[in-house]
């Protein structure tokens, strides 16, 4: 075998890769955007596209109601507020997630309590959640990390027994199904993000789904300065309940229109990503020391977001680390490969919460995965042409042969 590019050898594929740009754009959608801009001039306040998209997105995930907002952080914040969670309350969150899951808890004045993940799915370990419960615990926010699905049945059952509210953070899992039922529909509220990097995106955006009419009413008021659903601009009907601190988190018709078009392609694109993921899994797992993040244990449709592969350090030559594997892949010309968010939330560079305002239970599994094992590939790889996926596998094989034991 020839030397690795990182050691001065020739790149295996000197003509590179042809990853398609993401998100996919559709000319028919561009035409509708143009019409909306030029002809309707109705760009906000529960317009036609917002109503259609919110309802259809909720229905796709087996929920009754959807509330569109500006991003997937305020959807979490409003979910907590709608459930009456605030100062003095504890909310259990996974250590392995994006900061927003924990920051939303701080924004409502409550205390995030970090717990560990499962070694195979990287999602919240139900036993760790149960062990962290105290009399102050009011909610738990499992995250369907990278599209894998947390053990949502078990988490909901523990929560029900203890009288704890569940919010599903579905920012990575649009269109995912657990036992045939949409993610976000198991908890009181499911929260989605449509930020630039996500599976569905309008640049920014977020949405809450729920089947509880009371929560739906509160979420509508929370995002629209206290207005009830359907109250006309400058003609409020009834006031919001006392103590419900409402804000302006309205999104626009432009966002709803773009998202509606993506929803119409979601099933087809999810299935394409699933096929790509399974193809790569077969290749990677044939190499000693590599393992792909497990699918949700009862996932009947997994909406892969980031593709996560772990390397077992004991299979590497002495002194070689996960970061060397990534650097070697990049030197071979592999784009869109990176380490796993560098740190658990409470060790992240941007995490500046005072130590007395959060708690960390043992998160040894999350720390080991994030700091030493995980290699992430962005979702473009899952939608890439098969011959690019084959080339990626060849690069990985070459790198593991040289740097593995």
Q: Site residues (CB under 6 A) for ligand PLP?
A: 71-73, 97-98, 100-101, 143, 169, 171-172, 193, 195, 206
Residue 5 corresponds to which tokens in the numbers above?
């590019």
Q: Considering beta carbons, is residue 148 or 193 the nearer one to ligand PLP?
A: 193
Spatial contact of 118 and 127, defined as CB atoms under 8 Å apart: no
To the nearest whole angstrom, how small is the minimum distance from the Cβ of residue 360 to ligand PLP?
18
Judged by beta carbon, residue 71 or residue 389, the one nearer ligand PLP is 71
On whether the CB atoms of residues 303 and 173 are closer than 8 A, the answer is: yes
**175 vs 206, beta carbon nearer ligand PLP:** 206
- Alpha-carbon distance 323 to 353, whole Å? 28
Nearer to ligand PLP, 46 or 122 (CB): 122
Residue 308: strand pairing partners: 376
Q: For residues 158 and 81, what is the distance between their CA atoms, to the nearest angstrom? A: 22
Q: Cα–Cα distance between 123 and 146 in angstroms, integer?
A: 9
Q: How far is the CB of 143 from ligand PLP (least distance, A)?
A: 5
What are the structure tokens assigned to 54, written together? 């919110």
CB of 94 to ligand PLP, least distance (A): 9
Q: How far is the CB of 349 from ligand PLP (least distance, A)?
A: 16
CA 374 from centroid of its chain's CA atoms:
17
Closer residue to ligand PLP in complex, CB, 143/299:
143
β-bridge pairing 299-301 and 111-115: unpaired
Minimum distance from residue 106 beta carbon to ligand PLP (Å): 13
Smallest gap, in angstroms, from Cβ of residue 22 to ligand PLP? 15
Q: How many other CB atoms are found less than 10 A from the CB of residue 185?
A: 22
Report the candidate in 75, 71, 54, 58 with the shortest Cα–Cα distance to residue 205.
Answer: 71
Residue number with CB closer to ligand PLP (12 or 101): 101
- The helix (run of H) or strand (run of E) holding residue 137 is strand 137-140
DSSP code per residue over 26-72: -HHHHHHHHHIIIII---SSS-HHHHHHHHHHHHHTT-SEEEEES-T
Quickly tell me which residue has 């959060």 as its tokens: 358
**CB 283 → ligand PLP: shortest distance, Å?**
27
Instruction: Return the number of the residue (2 or 248) whose C-beta is nearest ligand PLP.
Output: 248
CA distance 395 to 147: 25
Three-state DSSP class for residue 183: coil
Residue with the CB atom nearest ligand PLP in the bound state:
72
- Runs of H (alpha helix) within 36-167: 48-60, 74-82, 100-107, 126-131, 152-162
**Nearer to ligand PLP by C-beta: 292 or 306?**
306
CA dist 54 and 65 (Å) reads: 7
Interacting residues of 239 by C-beta distance below 8 A, sequence separation 6+: 226
When the beta carbons of 71 and 270 are compared against ligand PLP, the nearer one is: 71
| C-beta closer to ligand PLP: residue 12 or 293 | 293
Q: How far is the CB of 145 from ligand PLP (least distance, A)?
A: 7
- Rank residues 17 and 305 by Cβ distance to ligand PLP and give the closer one: 305
Q: What angle in degrees, to the nearest 10, is found between the helix axes of 253-284 and 386-403?
A: 50
Q: How far apart are the first and last CA of the chain?
A: 15
CA-wise closest residue to 86 among 245, 250, 247: 245
């Amino acid at each position: 075998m020839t030397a690795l590019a990182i050691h001065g050898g020739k790149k295996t594929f000197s003509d590179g890769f042809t990853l398609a740009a993401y998100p996919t754009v559709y000319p028919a959608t561009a035409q509708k955007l143009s019409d909306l801009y030029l002809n309707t001039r109705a760009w906000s306040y529960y317009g036609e596209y917002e109503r259609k998209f919110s309802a259809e997105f909720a229905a796709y995930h087996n929920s009754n109601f959807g509330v569109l907002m500006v991003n997937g952080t305020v959807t979490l914040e409003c979910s907590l507020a709608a459930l009456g969670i605030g100062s003095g309350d504890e909310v259990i969150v996974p250590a392995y997630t994006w900061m927003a899951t924990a920051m939303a808890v701080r924004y409502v004045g409550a205390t995030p309590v970090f717990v560990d993940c499962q070694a195979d799915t990287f999602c919240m370990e139900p036993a760790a959640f149960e062990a962290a419960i105290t009399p102050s615990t009011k909610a738990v926010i499992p995250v369907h990390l990278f599209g894998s699905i947390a053990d949502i049945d078990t988490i909901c059952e523990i929560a029900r027994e203890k009288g704890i509210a569940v919010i599903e953070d579905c920012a990575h899992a649009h269109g995912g199904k657990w036992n045939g039922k949409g993610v976000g529909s198991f908890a009181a509220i499911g929260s989605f993000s449509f930020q630039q990097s996500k599976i569905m995106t309008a640049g920014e955006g977020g949405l809450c789904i729920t089947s509880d009419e009371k929560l739906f009413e509160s979420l509508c008021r929370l995002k629209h300065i206290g207005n009830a659903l359907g109250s006309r601009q400058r003609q409020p009907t009834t006031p919001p309940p006392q103590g419900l601190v409402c804000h302006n988190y309205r999104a626009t018709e432009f966002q709803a229109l773009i998202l509606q078009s993506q929803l119409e392609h979601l099933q087809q694109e999810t299935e394409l990503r699933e096929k790509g993921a399974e193809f790569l899994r077969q290749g990677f797992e044939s190499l000693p020391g590599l393992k792909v993040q497990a699918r949700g244990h009862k996932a009947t449709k997994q909406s892969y977001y980031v593709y996560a592969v772990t390397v077992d350090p004991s299979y590497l030559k002495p002194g070689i680390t996960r970061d060397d594997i990534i650097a070697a892949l990049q030197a071979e010309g592999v784009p869109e490969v990176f380490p796993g968010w560098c740190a658990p939330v409470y060790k992240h560079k941007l995490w500046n919460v005072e130590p007395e305002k959060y708690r960390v239970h043992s998160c040894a599994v999350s720390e080991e995965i994030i700091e030493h094992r995980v290699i992430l590939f962005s979702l473009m790889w899952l939608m890439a042409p098969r011959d690019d996926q084959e080339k990626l596998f060849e690069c990985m094989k070459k790198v593991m042969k040289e740097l593995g034991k």
